[in-house]
A and B are shown apart, each in its own frame.
Chain A
Amino acid sequence: MARRLIHARSGGAFSLGTKLTVAAPYLWLLGFFLVPFIIVVKISLSETALAQPPYAPALDVAAGWQGIQDFFAGLSFANYLTIAGDNLYVFSYLKSLKVAAVSTAILLLCGLPLAYAMARAPRAVRPLLVTLVVLPFWTSFLIRVYAWINILQRDGLLNQVLMWLGLIDQPTTWLATDTAVYIGLVYSYLPFMVLPLYASLEKLDETLLEAAADLGCPRWKAFFAITIPLALQGLGAGALLCFIPIVGEFVIPDLLGGSDAVMIGQTLWMDFFANRDWPVASAVAVMLVGLLMVPIAVYQHLQTREIEGR
């Protein structure tokens, strides 16, 4: 009520500031997020050409209506048919989904005990623990992946330690394997899993657990019957925050993984940079977004509820 009165009273200045506050970020995102994506869709329907830029048709506005008609007549779904018919692409998509699903599952298994322990720590040390978990995230992503190359290489620390312990006789190959990719992914994405989980576990009413204990419920049972269901929203947010970007991950599989089965992010990168096939790279991107549409929508729903539901 009061706000509406103020709105009316201060008239012009308010509405100008308001308009600018909404318009500036809105226009920026329209121009640099939505429009670029529409261009990607358009180029994915074009043909590869030996030209600069390397695709056809280009929209010739100067030719008027005829130009626009020619433009639409030149569009085709050929690139999508290429992708759907080529095993390389199909395997690439499947491999990405599998890697993302498996690593998200591992992240849940590692992240849950860690987040739970943080939420059960004395109140005074909790901010410190959050800082400790977040700090590695602030140091460069690339550097963290690079650190693992140091450890996983043939004469690296991991093999040295395992041989010293007598677990293996000769160095094992770690680099350029799926294991290395999983280690890198779990390591890099752990904070993204732990923080949403911690946020929802911290809010958990401890008296519920005490009540369960008083009624003779074993602690592990209370964990699955009370803690997990109440933390489900954080669980979902954390899982999606990891799953979605991992499907399109490039740096980690490129530096730690082998060359036999590449993920879709690498395929897109190669099509674009090595083969200079922009239309196919665009079609790969559009299909990737299509694949991720449902998880992204669910994530947005959870995010909106988390922020606006409080």
Chain B
Amino acid sequence: MRRMSVTNLVALALGLAFLYAPIVILVVYSFNASRLVTVWGGWSLRWYAVLIEDRAMIDAALASLGIAIASAALATLLGTMAALALTRMRFRGRLPFAAMIYAPLVMPEVITGLSLLLLFVAVDLDRGFFTIIIAHTTLTMCFVTVIVQSRLIGFDRSLEEAAMDLGCPPGRTFFAITLPLIMPAVVAGFLLAFSLSLDDLVIASFTNGPGATTLPIRIYSEVRLGVKPEINAVCTIFIAVISVVVITASLIGKSRDQGRGPPLAT
């Protein structure tokens, strides 16, 4: 193991400070007793108390959570299928399929949102939570595909082939061998889909209907009016939830990876 040079250490320290300082400041100020968001008035939980009273905000948060769980589940299913199709199968129209998987990853959100809304209007589908779930699934399944795909390419095909040579039907081979091996990537894909959906403002703004307000839409309408201490508190809770989920997931992934040793042990 080599020592790091001073320049590299400085680059790391500056980079991480830049990434974390705004978030830390936001969290600290959510515990500020003062109504003025820029003057420090001592520690307090008063904005969290205000938040518990805010029915509209809680409803929006619950709606967002429901949409995120539903669309992430659907996206994980479809995304994993797409990853299997791309890595394991030869079929006609494979190239356009790959193009449709990679395009949404970089497509500006305003375009994805606008086009889905126009589809829903064209087929006369009532807009609401359901349409947001469809929109989020379409976007996030592509991220799931990319994650699962890289895992599928990375692992040893001979296990699957051995199972099938021994007469294990392909369906069972998938559930007994392939799925357990790609599980960390599937879980990671689900979590990414979940957090992308929870986070999305633009696509949800296009595809929501009257009464279907998600947390980002709610936060956005408040933020446009300026900084408010309650919003700092909402954001802090949001960050705490996401951090706990991500750290737990990465610990699970790690212990699985380490315990993998000889692949058949799992």
Which residues of chain A from 107 to 166 have a CB within 8 Å of any chain B CB?
A: 110, 113-114, 116-118, 120-124, 127, 129, 131-133, 135-136, 138-144, 146-151, 153, 155-157, 160
Interface residue total, chain B, C-beta cutoff 8 A: 92
Residue of B7, B106, B110, B206 near A240 (CB, 8 A) is B106
Q: How many angstroms between the C-alpha atoms of A272 and B121 in the bound complex?
A: 14
Are A245 and B108 in contact (CB-based, < 8 A)?
yes
Are B19 and A190 in contact (CB-based, < 8 A)?
yes
A281 in the interface, Cβ–Cβ < 8 Å?
yes
Are A36 and B98 in contact (CB-based, < 8 A)?
no
Q: How many angstroms between the C-alpha atoms of A102 and B92 in the bound complex?
A: 41
**Chain B residues, CB < 8 A from A118:** 12
Are A150 and B84 in contact (CB-based, < 8 A)?
no
**Chain B residues, CB < 8 A from A143:** 23, 26, 219, 235, 238-239
Q: How many angstroms between the C-alpha atoms of A49 and B97 in the bound complex?
A: 36
Are A6 and B115 in contact (CB-based, < 8 A)?
no
Are B1 and A122 in contact (CB-based, < 8 A)?
yes
**Chain A residues, CB < 8 A from B26:** 143, 146-147, 150
Q: How many angstroms between the C-alpha atoms of A114 and B7 in the bound complex?
A: 10
Are A139 and B16 in contact (CB-based, < 8 A)?
no
Are B1 and A139 in contact (CB-based, < 8 A)?
no
**Chain A residues, CB < 8 A from B238:** 139-140, 143
In angstroms, how far is the closest chain B Cβ from the Cβ of A114? 4
- Which secondary structure dominates where chain B touches chain A? helix
18 contacts between A and B (CB under 8 A): A2-B165, A3-B161, A10-B170, A22-B81, A22-B85, A24-B78, A32-B134, A136-B20, A146-B219, A147-B26, A150-B232, A157-B25, A241-B106, A265-B110, A289-B107, A307-B149, A307-B153, A308-B153
Known A143-B235, A147-B23; 9 more pairs at CB < 8 Å: A17-B170, A18-B89, A21-B89, A114-B11, A114-B12, A138-B195, A140-B199, A250-B109, A273-B205
**What residues make up the interface of B, taking CB atoms closer than 8 Å to A?**
1-2, 4-5, 7-9, 11-12, 15-16, 18-20, 22-23, 25-26, 29, 37-38, 78-79, 81-82, 84-85, 89, 91, 93, 97-111, 114-116, 118-119, 121-122, 134-135, 137-138, 141, 145-146, 149-150, 153, 161, 164-165, 169-171, 174, 195, 198-199, 201-202, 205-206, 216, 219-220, 223-224, 227, 231-232, 235, 238-239, 242-243, 246, 250, 254
